Structure 1
Amino acid sequence: MKKRLLTLFALCVFLPPHLAGQIIKDYSDAELEVYYNKHLEIDTTQMGAQAQDTKMSLRIGGGHALFASTKRMWADSLRTYNFALHETLYYKLNPIGGNQPWRPLGSAEGEYLFKNMPEGKNTVYHNFGFDNYVYAEDIEPQGWILGDSVRSILGYECRLAECDYRGRHWIAWYAPEIAVSEGPWKLGGLPGLILEAYDSRRHYVFTAFGMTSEVPGKVGIHIFSKSDLSEISREKYLHFRWKRMNEHQDPSEKLRTAGIIKSKRRQEKSEETIYQYYDFEETDYPHVMNL
């Protein structure tokens, strides 16, 4: 593997506080951490007008992987292992003042994806609507069709692949030189690391901007449990999130449910208008309010 790897964030041990509890299994040490920018379009009728970018981390090791917001992982780890410092940063250093939390400390992206944990399954944790939800699903082959096109990303020669997966057509660029069959979000299964992926409408775009191999022995890949987690199916999980966004509720709760941050231009349109055109990476779930 090439040596020009970028260390762009301080490494931390991961134990999210809202999931803090019993470690079911410590799967492996991380061998590689890849940093992506996740770009999503909130109002798909006006591309770019309501866009959100979030830095995400993919930790890979021992045939397992973890994908989550980099800032969320950092803030959660800090809160777990140095609560006093977390509270100082979260409240006392708030430039606005008062007792309001300093939102840049964490991230609105609250979903944690544990890949091949347990073996052969993906596990997803998220808290929305003031409840904690978890679901596990069998890892589904994505049926990639390999193309001939080639382009360079981060100095690596990447090859093209495409597939249809759960309601969207995905285009990916993978690097055969980095011999791990992983990628951002649930995407993977190619003969090399996916460094960029996007759906055909570019509602979601994942682009790698750095990575580090300086993680063995420093960062573990675990899976957690908590007594108050509600275990549901993937379809119900997505439906509940979608329904919460579209119910009449406080706008800030809608944003937290969606996992997005309110932009400065959002005030030009109503919440109902924006969410009418927003959907998740997977669209194959019931979009019915009274279900």
Structure 2
Amino acid sequence: MKQISILCFLFLFGLGAFSQNEKLDESVLECHYKLVMQKDTVRKSDLVEDDMVLRVGRTTSQFFSRYTFYHDSLWADPEGIKIAQDLSLEALMSPDPSRVFGARTTKDYLYKNYPEGKMTIYAKDFIHVNFFYEENYIPQEWIVRDSTKQILGYDCKKAECEFRGRHWITWFAVDIPIKNGPWKLNGLPGLILEAYDSKMDYHYTATRIDEKPVSPVILYKFEDNQEMKTERKIYNYTLQKFMTGAPAEELELIQEALKKGIPLKYVQRSPRRLLYDFLERDHLTP
């Protein structure tokens, strides 16, 4: 019964049952990807899996982790809080890493062509602040190769590009004329069904395609926390410094939030070597 009630709750939330959500577009396709990510990109010893969702509308799309959505949506509603508390306790008491409740690889919600011509990324790695930033929505500079293979029964062609410090290899379905794909990848003449970088730190593989999705493209607003606009490189640089244990006074973004009067619960980590390599590797300086 608990599982059924959770599914019903998420169904209602996905349709925008709460007033803070904003419907952006009718969806025309939903593609699920299995993401395999190296949490330790130095020693290559800690693989983590996630279930990512690409929901494509007529003009906009959204990309997020199903596990992150599951966590956020339960905590956002009074009727879901008890379920969230129970699942958190079960995960804490279980030695099975697959029972983790919450984000596995990312907390981000990514919106393409929102606003028009832009991508907007909502990132929640700092407690009680909803940081977001915009960047231009432009395709990568792809080189299409002659190689082909099948994924989910679709004939796919190979394409490669250099993007923000990584060499990406992708396979796109020639019979699905949607210029979209996982994460920020886009612009090929077909839906990207597989994508991985040359180091195999990140590997997306399509597992299911739904051509009649139930949920529209929704701008999710899970909490009433204040929002703060920033820039991509500044955010990634701050997050990297935070993960290595930098104190709050050394983080420009955190200090800016405090000056704006935004309540921020910053818990400094102990100094550590960062073994995790970001998707984008061009943020070493803000």
> Shorter chain as normaliser: what TM range?
0.7 to 0.9
Cross-structure match for 2:255 = none
Distance 2:85 2:220 in 1: 27
Cross-structure match for 2:102 = 106
| Equivalent position amino acid for 1:238 in 2 | N
Give the drift of 1:222.
2.9
Structure 1 gaps of 5+ residues are 1-8, 250-269
User: What number of residue pairs does the alignment pair up?
Assistant: 247
| Equivalent position amino acid for 2:195 in 1 | A
Cross-structure match for 2:3 = none
Match for 1:120 among 117, 120, 126? 117
CA separation of 1:96/1:79 partners in 2, compared to 1, >3 Å: closer, same or farther? closer
Contact 1:117 1:223 in 2 (8 A): no
Give the drift of 1:96.
6.7
Deviations 1:123-176 (A, max 9, x none): 001112323210011113311000000011111111000001111110000001
Cross-structure match for 1:88 = 82
Match for 1:58 among 42, 51, 54? 54
The answer as to 2:143 corresponding to 1:149 is: no
Distance 2:16 2:71 in 1: 8
Secondary structure at 2:90 match in 1: coil
Match for 1:210 among 203, 208, 211? 208
| Equivalent position amino acid for 1:115 in 2 | K
| Equivalent position amino acid for 1:232 in 2 | T
- Structure-to-structure mapping, 1:123-142, within 5 angstroms: 123-130=120-127, 131-142=129-140
Cross-structure match for 2:40 = 43
Distance 2:14 2:280 in 1: 26
The answer as to 2:28 corresponding to 1:31 is: yes
Secondary structure at 1:122 match in 2: strand
Distance 2:246 2:114 in 1: 36
Match for 1:70 among 66, 71, 79? 66
Contact 2:193 2:206 in 1 (8 A): yes
Alpha-carbon RMSD across the aligned residues, in angstroms, is: 2.9
Cross-structure match for 2:176 = 178
The answer as to 2:219 corresponding to 1:223 is: yes
CA separation of 1:15/1:135 partners in 2, compared to 1, >3 Å: closer, same or farther? farther
- Structure-to-structure mapping, 1:233-252, within 5 angstroms: 233-247=231-245
CA separation of 1:21/1:279 partners in 2, compared to 1, >3 Å: closer, same or farther? farther
Distance 1:278 1:199 in 2: 15
| Equivalent position amino acid for 1:279 in 2 | D
Contact 1:174 1:195 in 2 (8 A): yes
Contact 1:15 1:77 in 2 (8 A): no
Deviations 1:235-255 (A, max 9, x none): 101111111111158xxxxxx
Contact 1:35 1:209 in 2 (8 A): yes
CA separation of 1:279/1:139 partners in 2, compared to 1, >3 Å: closer, same or farther? same
CA separation of 1:97/1:180 partners in 2, compared to 1, >3 Å: closer, same or farther? closer
Distance 1:21 1:232 in 2: 25
Cross-structure match for 2:264 = none
Distance 2:16 2:125 in 1: 15
Give the drift of 1:74.
3.1
| Greater RCO, 1 or 2 (C-alpha within 8 Å, sep 6+) | 1
CA separation of 1:122/1:245 partners in 2, compared to 1, >3 Å: closer, same or farther? same
Contact 1:136 1:234 in 2 (8 A): yes
Distance 2:176 2:156 in 1: 10
Give the drift of 1:22.
4.7
Give the drift of 1:227.
6.5
| Equivalent position amino acid for 1:126 in 2 | A
Deviations 1:20-57 (A, max 9, x none): 8755x63211111111111111222322x111111111
Distance 1:96 1:234 in 2: 32
- Greater CA drift, 133-142 or 116-125: 133-142
Cross-structure match for 1:254 = none
Give the drift of 1:16.
9.7
